[in-house]
Amino acid sequence: MKIDFANLNRAYALHKEEFDSAMSEVVRASNFIMGKAMYDLEETLSRYVGVKHCISCASGTDALLLALMALDIKQGDEVITTPFTFFATAEVIALCGATPVFVDIDLSDYNIDIQKIESAITPQTKAIMPVSLYGQMADMPALLALAKKHGLKVIEDAAQSFGATYSGQKSGSYRDVGCTSFFPAKPLGCFGDGGAVFTDDDLLAEKLRSLRVHGQTGRYIHKYVGIGGRLDTIQATVLNVKMKYYESDIKGRRRLADYYNRHIESSKVIKPFEKPSYTSVWAQYTLRIDPSQRDDFQAYLTSRGIPTAIHYPKPMHLQECFQGVLAYREGDFPIAERVAKEVISLPMNPYFTEEEKAYIVEAVNGF
Ligand SMILES: *Cc1c(COP(=O)(O)O)cnc(C)c1O
């Protein structure tokens, strides 16, 4: 059997007519930039997340960058984040001229360890940027309380967690800003690059909308130095179609995670943990295995037609670009370093047949 990791083709085929006609309509109207579909999408997304403002943009990376720019994060500032994430999280902090300050992760959910944040706070610290890794938020109440105590901004990197909740409250809706990505393989993916920023703050929203279009406040009038970071109307129209089915997609992902949780019995692997009161959207279903066995496990699954992925093999503080720039070395974040050697993600999407699910689980248990 040949298993597809994300089944993007099935996602398209399932609603092909709707996607095709929505995209044709944009082409027909030739309203490619900031067309009506983009404003419709922002309305739908802000209602879904439960915040006043959604500012769509060109990617998840741009969403994070816009958030930092809007909060005036600049050279000399420090932003606390996790070393165990996709590179963009740390990248945007450095792009703003600020310094990423890493704090080790919690072994239970692989998110930033809130207990360890306080000792990393200095007079230069301006913000905390938690990443809701694999689709599940960090301990948000504790994180928000800490940020409030120290007067720090919070920017949630919700690139993997759109639709996730804590006590019913959606990821992306937490103060000050939430940022998500619509990269095709994310839980809510478009047909290219896309992203969005969420906030309840009217002034911040106005600034974000301006920064997205070169910091402009009127035609050819530039109040800020911004970026060219708009979402294409075509991507917005694709997302408008996808949003109709998104709750059902999340249910499908959660069903698959539940199936994996119940049926994976191999004593060789450690399964992911969903915290009480939190729901994950399972951007990834990520196991851990002894580092000495990971390559063999991956090769074994590949030989059975089951693709896997390593999210992520190298923590941020050990990346080449930060060597000699940030004063970190191997051993600084033992949990992140250990987990990076142990993780392996199984295929995850809402479109598998029962037969495919059973096939994956049997293979995992047979290793
Ligand atoms: C995907 C991702 C991003 C970047 O999103 P893009 O849309 O690819 O730019 C940022 N942070 C995390 C945690 C991600 O997974």
| pLDDT tens-digit series, residues 51-94 | 999 999 999 999 999 999 999 999 999 999 999 999 999 999 99
Residue 157 CB less than 6 A away from ligand 1 = yes
Mean pLDDT of 194-198: 98
Substitution candidate for ligand 1 out of 81, 111, 183 with most atoms within 8 A of CB: 183
**Residue 321 per-residue DSSP state:** G
Q: How far apart are CA 198 and CA 117, in angstroms?
A: 24
User: In DSSP terms, which residues pair with 179 in a beta bridge?
Assistant: 157, 197
What pLDDT does residue 199 have? 98
pLDDT band at 273, cuts 50/70/90? very high
- Choose the residue to mutate in 61, 64, 65, 111 for probing ligand 1, maximizing ligand atoms within 8 Å of C-beta: 61
CB 165 near ligand 1, within 6 Å: no
* Closest ligand 1 atom to 59 CA: 7
Instruction: Give all strands (DSSP E) within 224-348, no chain letters.
Output: 269-270, 278-279, 285-289, 343-346
Token duo for residue 183:
């990269």
Nearby residues of 257 by Cβ (< 8 Å), 6 or more positions away: 272, 274, 280, 282, 285, 348
Contact, 77 vs 196, CB < 8 A?
A: no
**List of residues 6+ apart from 187 with CB closer than 8 A:** 135, 160, 161, 162, 163, 249, 250, 253, 281, 282, 283
Q: Does the CB atom of residue 58 touch ligand 1 within 6 A?
A: no
Whether the pTM exceeds 0.85: the reply is: yes
Q: Give yes or no for residue 315 CB within 6 A of ligand 1.
A: no
- CA of 86 from ligand 1 middle (Å) equals 6
Instruction: Give pLDDT, residue 60.
Output: 98
Question: What's the full length of the chain, in residues?
Answer: 367
**Ligand 1 pocket mutation pick from 157, 227, 345 by most atoms within 8 angstroms of CB:** 157
Rounded to the nearest angstrom, the distance between the alpha carbon of 321 and the centre of ligand 1 is 18
Determine if ligand 1 sits within 6 Å of the CB of residue 86.
yes
Q: Is the CB of 79 under 6 A from ligand 1?
A: no
Count the neighbouring beta carbons within 10 Å of the beta carbon of residue 19: 18
Query: What's the whole-number mean pLDDT along residues 258-286?
Result: 98
pLDDT bracket for residue 284 (50, 70, 90): very high
With CA atoms as reference, report the closest residue to 234 among 30, 20, 32: 32
Report, as an integer, the average pLDDT of 291-300: 98
Please report the atom of ligand 1 found closest to the CA of residue 85. Answer: 13
* pLDDT tens digits, 309-362: 999 999 999 999 999 999 999 999 999 999 999 999 999 999 999 999 999 999
pLDDT given at position 96:
97
Whether ligand 1 lies within 6 angstroms of the CB of 88 is answered as: yes
Ligand 1 pocket test, candidate residues 82, 92, 156, 181, most atoms within 8 A of CB: 181
Parallel, antiparallel or unpaired: strands 78-81 and 99-102: parallel
Alpha carbons 189 and 191: distance in angstroms, whole number: 7
pLDDT of residue 290: 98
Query: What's the pLDDT score for residue 194?
Result: 98
